[in-house]
Amino acid sequence: MKKLVFLFLSTTIMVVLISCNSQTAEVKRLITQFAEAVNNNDSTAICSMYPLAGACDSILFSIQGADINVEKGDTVGVFIAKVNDKELSVKVDEDGTMAIVDSRNVLSYGKKKKEFALASGWIEDGMSDAQMAERFADNGFIEYLGSSLIKELNNNVRVQDWEYSMNPMEMSARMIEGSLKTTPLQFVVVNNTPYDIEAEDYVIEAEISYLRVAGVDNQKKEVKGETLGANSTIKVKYNLQPVYDDPNLFEDVVRSKIVLNISEEEALQKYFIPKGGEYKTYLYTKGKK
């Protein structure tokens, strides 16, 4: 009886070892095929073996005669293939189907994108490639940042006041002489943000009041902006052209405001400065909705 039990256990162990060795060989074969697909830039084959690879900017993987060391992972059915400084996690289903489900140092992203993601908390040091791919797939974060930045600009860049850019006596003298062809104005613009805003990214929209015999005529004018330094106040000069060939008809600036002419995406690329923790704030905001 003891001999039968020993024979059964020995046979079972041998079957397990053979099965494990067979799976190890298959994992190595899959890794070799993946390396060949990367070398040939075969995106279809790459994504069929490693679905998450389609979301990255580039793939850094080559065996070039290096040893492929395979060991069992902590999860049932998962094997870890190690090639130099890279690791790939391969999931083996009961029917023998295999796929790469995670990796380290294999999927790569642009330097600026990764630096931005780390600085804003979008990704974190030590994350696996799959964890980073999952975070990068959350496009709502970028939309949130863009919307928040545009809101910040709209709330903190404003026209504070307007005034004549020459003193009243000089203006009166030039009017009498007939040499005043335009009304010189200047708008006091305040930028209470930490960003240097380019002139091309905004205009001053002003509503100008003109006196006429028939009554007051209000007309909208667009005043080209000037570069705004971070946390600064500047004066934007504007020569107001007479509408009815008579500068004396100008009465007042009824209202004026800053109008941004930049998209959320452009604003992020130009002005956004990560302070850290933006992604956590985004998740909190998302959870509150």
Determine which helix (DSSP H) or strand (DSSP E) holds 24, and give its type and residue range.
helix 2-39
For residue range 233-244, what is the model confidence (pLDDT) as tens digits? 999 999 887 766
Which of 278, 279, 260, 280 has the alpha carbon at shortest distance from 270?
Answer: 260
Which residue is associated with the tokens 């998450």? Answer: 52
Separation between Cα atoms, residue 206 and residue 184, nearest integer Å: 14
CB atoms within 10 A of CB 267: 21
Which of 25, 39, 36, 38 has its CA nearest to residue 98? 25
Contact between 228 and 250 under an 8 Å Cβ cutoff? The reply is no
Mean pLDDT (10-residue bins), the chain, 289 residues: 47 45 89 95 95 91 90 91 95 91 94 92 94 91 94 96 73 55 87 96 93 78 95 93 67 92 92 91 81
> Taking the domains of the chain in order of start, what are their residue ranges?
2-109, 153-266
Number of H helices, E strands in the chain: 8, 12
Q: What is the DSSP code (8-state) at residue 255?
A: E
Q: Closest by alpha carbon to 106, among 55, 44, 163, 155?
A: 55
pLDDT value of residue 197:
96
Q: Rg of the Cα trace of the chain?
A: 34
Tens digit of each residue's pLDDT (9 = 90 or more) over 131-188: 999 999 888 999 999 999 999 999 999 999 998 866 666 555 555 555 557 788 899 9
- pLDDT at position 263, please? 94
pLDDT for position 216: 79
Tell me how far apart the alpha carbons of residues 234 and 232 are, in angstroms, rounded to a whole number. 7
Question: Distance (Å, rounded) from C-alpha 79 to C-alpha 22?
Answer: 12
pLDDT for the residue 285: 87
| CA 159 – CA 150 distance, rounded (Å) | 17
Tokens in use for 263?
A: 């998209």
Report pLDDT for 182.
75
3-state SS record for 65-119: CCCCEEEECCCCCEEEEEECCEEEEEEECCCCCEEEEEEECCEECCHHHHHHHHH
- Distances from the Cα of 261 to the Cαs of 77, 122, 158, 271, in angstroms? 54, 28, 14, 14
CATH 3.30.450 correct for 153-266: no
| Per-residue model confidence as pLDDT tens digits over 257-270 | 999 999 998 999 89
Q: What is the pLDDT of residue 163?
A: 86
Q: What is the pTM of this model?
A: 0.74
> Is 126 within 8 Å of 103 (Cβ atoms)?
no
